[in-house]
Amino acid sequence: MKKYNVGFTAGVFDLFHVGHLNLFENCKKMCSHLIVGVCDDEYVRDIKHKEPIFPLEERVRIISSLKCVDEVVVVSFEEIDDKMLALEKFKFDVLFSGDDWKGSERYLKTEEQFSKVGVSIEYLPYTKSVSTTEIKNKIKSFEG
């Protein structure tokens, strides 16, 4: 029996790598149904101030093909910024997030809101050996 019924995590997931796969597999170990939110291109441009390498449709297709992911949804800035909006829309009982957010003002507020409605947050460690930024930097160094 899995600890949770419906789990939710979200991100850009550009330049898909083993760290993303580790995240999804670890989430799936704890829930029966895993929903992955993929940030829309406007979020990447307006909030991350970067141009996505792969367009939204391709990122959604890649993640949808993974056997550990049950459902892929496109998420907006509002749903990323206000986790209660995401909760209302996607009806999960656990939010999975990177452990770098633990203890932040934003997540302390979310923990308080979620505790009132019986929703949990599980903080998962990042795969230390890889990141999208690191991959982009490696590619740039080969070009130079």
pLDDT digits (tens, 9 = 90+) for 16-68: 888 899 999 999 999 999 999 999 999 889 888 888 889 999 999 999 999 99
CATH no. for residue 17?
A: 3.40.50.620
Instruction: Specify if 125 maps to a domain.
Output: no
Mean pLDDT of 86-94: 97
Mean pLDDT of the chain: 91
Residue 52 maps to a domain: yes
Give the domain extent around 24: 1-94
If one counts the domains in the chain, the total is 1
Residue 62's pLDDT is 96
The reply to whether 115 falls in a domain is: no
Q: Is residue 119 part of a domain?
A: no
- Say whether pTM exceeds 0.85: yes
In a domain, 132, yes or no: no
Looking at the chain, how many residues does it have?
Answer: 144
